[in-house]
Amino acid sequence: MRFASPRSLRLAALLAITLAGCPGCHKEKPAPPIDGLSDALNRAAEKALAPPSLANEQILLPARPGQLDAQASEIIAAASAAGGVAIRSINAQGQTSILATIPENNADAFKAALKHETMAMASPSPSTTLIEVLIENPAASSSPSP
């Protein structure tokens, strides 16, 4: 019977400690607070993953206090005057959204009408453009003062 040499015993002990792990060698660190990071990542993901607009162009108008319905009706009337059609809805952010299909050659006149300017209308062309007009929510437009 052969006895192991002291050197081979030391190697075997070192190997056993390495394989079994060294108790007390690894200390668990407390998890860093990630609440703020999680919120920021969620907001960034919502913006990045938001559905794309169907419209070719998007126009944001400030809401006139107490005149939201009248303002939306004016936009729909301007779309009709430009030879197009428009429909009103509310988007996920609570803004009034008006989606208008306007003949391409009257798109500039429609945009001018939104600014209460006049521009000559042409005979409606068969090609159209889709313009989304967002009326900004009055509560969202006012920010708290510092």
pLDDT cut 90: percent of the chain above it: 32
The string of pLDDT tens digits covering residues 40-89 is 877 777 666 655 566 788 898 998 888 888 999 999 999 999 999 999 99
Query: For 144, which DSSP code?
Result: -
Residue 86, pLDDT score: 95
Distance CA(77)–CA(69), nearest Å, equals 12
What's the one-letter identity of residue 128? T
The string of pLDDT tens digits covering residues 118-135 is 888 888 788 999 999 999
pTM, two decimals, is 0.57
Paired sense of beta strands 85-90 and 96-103, if any: antiparallel
Q: Tokens for 89? A: 């809805």
